[in-house]
A and B are shown apart, each in its own frame.
Chain A
């Protein structure tokens, strides 16, 4: 998948990687996996970029634990059906192939719609001005379960190296998989076990010879975390998404200036969702501003995107996330190029789903009809059923798929 010459070809995923992705809940039922015998993805130019980033992280690691570890931070946006979730799946597959540990948040919506239990987290003394934070035990348990089962091979070989307090006896768990499963099976312990596991994975012991693998954090639907939730506090006040510990932890990691980083190296990739998404004007504005800055547009330029002066004040918590020193890169997934579209349609044709001849003019027509090569729309066009009706004979009037 990392080969630049493979751009435009559809590559099959390895069996073990498929199992790991399934455990991590990376496959969605709304995607068209059931049309084909084995899961495969189209290698795009963006796939090559992710592979190069992963290689950079691998190359930067030194000989001892934590030496030279870099954290890559990416936010991926794009139109509806432009292939953002699959892009995340490709990044996760590359991480699994590179023997990284993958933490997957398949649906950020679960964290904000008040369908999971929440408990107030203990606030430290002297932190009266700060918001009341909340834990979500079941969601932490699910996170640990996905982590434990999808990374089973790697985690069974890693022993706990930190002390985690009274309730978690790290001597009882022989390896990190067992440690994670304590929280996966007992949701009351889950938030503490999550903190412990996270510390094990991302805080190296200085100078230790045994290196821990880098961590890939994959988040799908991050725009759900950029506003208020459906949860209410005990005073019946609406709780903001950033008051949940898991959400805050991941967002601090994604947008930090370098303080909250992955001590053993790795990548944090968050992807937005455009289907059934909440209205988040502050987040969208800041994504546009970050992209403008990346493109070299100065803040004083007239073309720099500014918010609507007559709109409501943007969410201050979201506004805090971005700042001039941020290392978070925002990429936008646009439509496929013509060679990539041709490769995709050829795959559909070879699978027997696309019945037309894959000529350049046919590819160009489908490219235009899918709004400039939007992958999801192109797959829909490639999989369209043509229905024919028998005109004569014993099956007269019967409709069949042609």
Chain B
């Protein structure tokens, strides 16, 4: 066998601008979605590096609207799956929780890239107003019921769907839960309530009035938010009736188990 050396490099004719061997810009080239993988790794490295910086509570973090899946796909050009994109969103919310005043520039710049265009205007929640008659409005929902609650300063009169509190809610429990925001803040005798509830049943309507009343009260007195949150009036109860599934008699109830 004869071993021959490579031919001498002719520098006159060899092009120096092209690389001798083309390497990919990033190792992600060898993955199915390189841009996505790069983004994911970048965010993960930021979380690892700045994970110890003090955070704020989730509800106190700045409200951000991230790129929608369709927008991200358009920007990266890759058909990223929703479950994969959810990983990016999770990391973004984690980075967003870093205290804004202590946030490194690298993190801020990265987060800006993922912000939805026009988001600043969209995300500003319009605060409720008190109209010329002194009324504030709040909307609450629970199960299938929804309620519009109007709150005005008064002496403690309550009208629900045009009827008195006793007519609307025969149960004491429902009456108390409807007026719970006012009871917890000792303001039952300071406001008059006018509520219009529809849908659902009696207790659902009562609980929807709870939420609507809390929102209306927060318009009148925003400083009460921590008290109402601890009292459980601010969160919309997301529980709904579970659907019936095939092979079962109800959502969970199964037919009698037979050994054979």
Residues on A lying within 8 angstroms of B by beta carbon are 79-81, 361, 364-365, 367-372, 374, 377, 380-381, 384
Contacts and interface: CB of A to CB of B under 8 A. Distances in A.
Given A380-B172, A381-B172, A369 B165 contact: yes
Interface of B: 155-158, 164-167, 172, 175-176, 179, 183, 186, 188-189
Contacts of B189: 361, 364-365, 367-368
A367 B179 CA distance: 13
Nearest to B169: A371
Contact of B175 (A367, A369, A384): A369
* Chain B interface SS verdict (over half): mixed
A381 B183 CA distance: 14
Contacts of A79: 164, 166-167
Contacts of B188: 364-365, 368-369
Max chain B C-beta neighbours (<10 A), residue from A371, A377, A380: A371
A79 B167 CA distance: 9
Contacts, number: 48
Given A369-B176, A377-B166, 12 more contacts: A81-B166, A361-B186, A364-B188, A365-B188, A365-B189, A368-B189, A371-B158, A371-B164, A372-B157, A372-B165, A374-B164, A374-B166
A371 B156 contact: no
A80 B166 CA distance: 9
A369 B179 CA distance: 8
Q: Which 4 A-B pairs have the closest CB atoms?
A: A364-B189, A371-B166, A368-B156, A371-B164
Given A361-B186, A380-B172, A368 B157 contact: yes
Contacts of B172: 369, 380-381, 384
A166 B98 CA distance: 105
Contacts of B183: 365
B165 A364 contact: no
A276 to B, nearest CB: 14
B210 to A, nearest CB: 14
Contacts of B176: 369
B54 to A, nearest CB: 38
A368 B186 contact: no
Nearest to A365: B188
Contacts of A380: 172
Given A369-B176, A369-B188, A364 B156 contact: yes
Contacts of A371: 158, 164-167
A368 B166 contact: no
Max chain B C-beta neighbours (<10 A), residue from A79, A365, A368: A368
19 contacts: A79-B166, A79-B167, A81-B166, A361-B186, A364-B188, A365-B183, A365-B189, A368-B158, A368-B188, A368-B189, A369-B165, A370-B165, A371-B165, A372-B157, A374-B164, A374-B166, A377-B166, A380-B172, A381-B172
Max chain B C-beta neighbours (<10 A), residue from A361, A365, A367: A365
A252 B179 CA distance: 47
Contacts of A365: 156, 183, 186, 188-189
A369 B167 CA distance: 12
Nearest to A367: B156
Nearest to B163: A371
Nearest to B156: A368
